[in-house]
Amino acid sequence: MTPTQALLFQPTRIGDIEVANRVVMAPLTRCRADEAAGDVPGSEMNVTYYRQRSTAGLIISEATQVSLGGKGYRATPGIYSDAQVEGWKHITQAVNAAGSKIVAQIWHVGRISHPEMTGGLQPVAPSAVAPNIMTHSRNGKSPAPVPHALTASEIKDVVNQYRQGAANAMRAGFDGVEIHGANGYLIDQFLRESTNLRTDTYGGLPANRIRFALEVVDAVVAEIGAGLTGIRLSPVSPANDSAESQPQAVFGPLVEALSERGIAFIHFVEGATGGPRDLPGFDFAWARKTFKGAYIANNGYTREMALDAVESGRADAVAFGRPYIANPDLVQRLQLNAPLAAVNPKTIYVPGPEGYIDYPSFHAT
């Protein structure tokens, strides 16, 4: 069979990042950093995993905490220590050598944590509202504790953690940064009415609730430039017990403000993260028209949906998450319309090579 030359497989630019095609590997938490060494990525196995997937036009790294206080799960990598930066270098070099680009997804989990994940620190959030979920602790799961409501000066410190994370990402050889603003983590906690009960300039009206997100964006842009800065948003997702009755009223002004800043891309989780796409409350077509940068679409895309989204101009690129776990050569399979392998759910978040680097690839990398 001849591979299709559809627009999805043609090169483009995402901000200042030149990509070989418009298939994006979505950020995927895999919990395989070296936790004992201080949440350090870059083992031979980690390098192999990313290299195997480096026919994607753009790889977005697994979510990567900007501080120990921003960690919420076992063995997720960080981007705040020198050892972590050195570890990431092995990965970015391998991906770039294979012809792909990779941005670091920088992350603070906020209240989605437990002191056993943060070196004893109480999780932080915009307000002292515990999520109604079980969070990860060292040997299983525990009810999430009530977080500490950040003071104004603590907010500045956290913004600086993102700034330093972005600077470290560039030092580690990344091609840019995706700020994790989705899925009920810290930035999303500021955006939404269910988690932000603040009465200062960070709470209340949407113009205030988007302030933290924009301060993080401005700090990252100041450090690495708008053309290398992107953000992931999930305006209607209930992930991690986050709720908002008026998503358009909050995320609309945020999208406009991000467009004014000229950032490279917004990566939209269209619908419930990993779930139904058809949730009401936010007009993604409006966002596509309004935002001047690249629109990366995500959430449950099939081959046909992705081909159509890019061909019709509804999106500039499409990010695939779960399909990338079991199909390292996803680009080639999509191009050839070859069958996709299924993910083994038991090996997504556990240590070791099984279900990580042993999915077959029919394309040598």
Residues acting as catalytic residues: 185
67 binds ligand 8OZ (CB under 6 A): no
322 binds ligand 8OZ (CB under 6 A): no
The CB-of-338 to ligand 8OZ minimum distance in angstroms stands at 27
Q: Which letter does DSSP use for residue 277 in this model?
A: S
Q: Return the structure tokens found at 256.
A: 């406009």
Pairwise CA distance, residues 10 & 311, whole Å: 11
Buried-state track 175-185, b at ≥16 Cβ within 10 A, e below 16:
bbbbbbbbbbb
Tell me whether residue 113 or residue 335 sits nearer to ligand 8OZ (CB atom).
113
Pairwise CA distance, residues 202 & 195, whole Å: 12
Tell me whether residue 109 or residue 334 sits nearer to ligand 8OZ (CB atom).
109
The contact pattern for ligand 8OZ, residues 149-188, with x = CB under 6 A and - = no contact, is ---------------------------------xx-----
Tell me whether residue 239 or residue 331 sits nearer to ligand 8OZ (CB atom).
239
The contact pattern for ligand 8OZ, residues 6-35, with x = CB under 6 A and - = no contact, is -----------------------x------
Residue 204 CB-density burial (10 A; 0-12 exposed, 13-18 middle, 19+ buried): middle
Please answer whether residues 103 and 176 qualify as being in contact, where contact means their C-beta atoms are separated by less than 8 angstroms.
Answer: yes
DSSP E strand boundaries for 144-293: 148-149, 176-180, 229-233, 265-269
> With contacts defined by CB under 6 A, how many residues of the chain interact with ligand 8OZ?
7
The CB-of-273 to ligand 8OZ minimum distance in angstroms stands at 6
104 binds ligand 8OZ (CB under 6 A): no
Which is nearest to 180 in space by CA: 255, 248, 109, 250? 109
63 binds ligand 8OZ (CB under 6 A): yes
Tell me whether residue 180 or residue 211 sits nearer to ligand 8OZ (CB atom).
180
* Amino acid at position 324, single letter: Y
Which one of residues 7, 68, 73, 341 is an interface residue with ligand 8OZ (CB under 6 A)?
A: 73
Tell me whether residue 194 or residue 365 sits nearer to ligand 8OZ (CB atom).
194
Tell me whether residue 35 or residue 308 sits nearer to ligand 8OZ (CB atom).
35
- Beta-ladder partners of 78: 65
* Amino acid at position 134, single letter: M
Please answer whether residues 363 and 332 qualify as being in contact, where contact means their C-beta atoms are separated by less than 8 angstroms.
Answer: yes
Please answer whether residues 331 and 55 qualify as being in contact, where contact means their C-beta atoms are separated by less than 8 angstroms.
Answer: yes
248 binds ligand 8OZ (CB under 6 A): no
Give the pairing type, strands 176-180 and 148-149.
unpaired
The CB-of-212 to ligand 8OZ minimum distance in angstroms stands at 17
The residues binding ligand 8OZ (CB under 6 A) are: 29, 63, 73, 182-183, 239, 273
